[in-house]
Structure 1
């Protein structure tokens, strides 16, 4: 390990299992002191348990690192504020926020209950916004006090948010919203020394291993485990470190040994009549434009 996060304090939400746990362990291995947040809910967001957060914090300490467990609900103002407070009161500073908490309640749109929509959007999108908002307020105060933070935020989106995913209208909408939030935060917070990026991971978690059991299974022969959550963590650690200086407002896909820079929305073919279109001729123009446009990748499951 290179110690690229030595002396830094990182907060990781949803860090009791899966990707969050892998990120917390990897950050600690690189010298970060870690606030391990996890409400201990089930894969569908039901229930709570103090065990997952505490177990990861204990594992970090057993490896010689420093960590504290935080069991607050980060999709509430109180819980998000206490997350930042835990970092400051325990370790005296906050350098990186990794927003990772989430769960799924998959349904086709015609069967998707309002409660399932609200619950998923709440934990993913609001659960990104509130910790980010409270961390940003701290960093802004630091900047105004001439203490010049060099802070980092790593958000977690998904291929579902970038392309869509059949049966995941609530999840895909929330993850797409996280991309928009990332771009706005990067633009607004740069003046305070804060960089904000997002990662769209593909890995074996409670949300994926039952849906794609064959694709997510670990190889029985001990060869490279392409779907191990730890494969995503090196990128997250680097983005959370001082080494990522100048990188902000970006979205990356991370899977197995592959890292991809997502290029987002760019204007494609265009037509300008110089006057108002009639509906029929607007349609004809659209047909011509689509014929010359790059074909979009299909939604997952389409």
Structure 2
């Protein structure tokens, strides 16, 4: 299967490169997501058997002041990709986020639950979802949360850096979700592409996050313990750590529909050890 991946340096794209190095990866010089037409041109030039969109505007706070650019990258570009994929009748896998929900309540969100983004980032990601669905092709929208890996900027790497510098850290404890390794997401995208190629009726929105659900504070404690860092984590409410963009308090995702692809929620605790080993952080 010839797979075309939008994105080259992001966490999921980097993992895809290690899993399937023969895949064609496009960076912004080859397909600028600020110019959706260039994405269509790239698809028509390569004529792949499947497409994975692993590129996105992920600067949550910056999106509040640059929503127009975020909307092009997260909304218009994926919609254009999906239409091009539909024209070729090939699977299109698009990675989305828990930020399309408002984070209310304490039960896991299901794929068909009403969306209500709290900020610009969530709105632009939801715009992309709507565009992908409207394209009418075979697709899978994979909503995930709290992505971590040995690459790029993420919570695990931040905690390792700060934990080595300080003996105490304040971390929010009222936001709950499922940390998810980028490698697990990459593997899920490949599985979905293969299944959709044979069964277009599997098209739809799916949730994929690590288990068990935890708070950021408890996730931080797990990182410190696994890396044997003597840094104490102090629980604080989100109100004590204000950010330009509001974060959902409840990022729990109901992932039961993954069974249609023979997938289950990955154990983030095991994946964390793999990442820490990659980073040389396990003593």
**Residue aligning to 2:24:** 35
> Aligned equivalents of 1:164 and 1:126: distance in 2?
25
Please report the RMSD computed on the Cα atoms of aligned residues, expressed in angstroms. 3.9
Offset from partner CA, 1:186-234 (integer Å, 9 cap, x none)? xx23xxxxx21111123126886159944999xxxxxxxx643101122
Structure 1 residues 248, 106: closer, same or farther in 2, change over 3 A? same
**Any runs of at least 4 consecutive aligned residues in structure 1 with deviations exceeding 6 A, and if so which?**
165-168, 205-208
Greater Rg by CA: 1
The Cα shift of 1:118 comes to 0.5
> Aligned equivalents of 2:120 and 2:153: distance in 1?
16
The Cα shift of 1:129 comes to 1.4
User: Is the 2:33–2:72 contact (alpha carbons within 8 Å) kept by the matching residues of 1?
Assistant: no
Normalising by structure 1, what TM-score?
0.52
Normalising by structure 2, what TM-score?
0.55
**Residue aligning to 2:95:** 156
* 1:201-212 mapped onto 2 (5 Å cutoff): 201-202=144-145, 203-204=147-148, 209=154
User: Is the 1:83–1:131 contact (alpha carbons within 8 Å) kept by the matching residues of 2?
Assistant: no
The Cα shift of 1:20 comes to 1.9
> Aligned equivalents of 1:215 and 1:123: distance in 2?
30
> Aligned equivalents of 2:152 and 2:100: distance in 1?
15
Structure 1 residues 182, 167: closer, same or farther in 2, change over 3 A? closer
> For structure 2, which runs of at least 5 residues remain unmatched after alignment?
105-115, 163-178, 213-245, 251-283
**Residue aligning to 2:260:** none
Q: Secondary structure at the match of 1:241?
A: helix
User: Is the 1:152–1:196 contact (alpha carbons within 8 Å) kept by the matching residues of 2?
Assistant: yes
Picking from 5, 12, 16, the partner of 2:9 is: 16
> Aligned equivalents of 1:246 and 1:182: distance in 2?
14
Offset from partner CA, 1:46-88 (integer Å, 9 cap, x none)? xxxx6xxxxxxxxxxxxxxxxxxxx221342442133114423
User: Is the 2:36–2:76 contact (alpha carbons within 8 Å) kept by the matching residues of 1?
Assistant: no
Picking from 72, 86, 93, the partner of 1:136 is: 86
> For structure 1, which runs of at least 5 residues remain unmatched after alignment?
1-7, 40-49, 51-70, 89-93, 140-150, 190-194, 218-225, 259-297
* 1:182-261 mapped onto 2 (5 Å cutoff): 182-185=132-135, 188-189=136-137, 195-202=138-145, 203-204=147-148, 209=154, 213-214=158-159, 227-242=180-195, 245-256=199-210
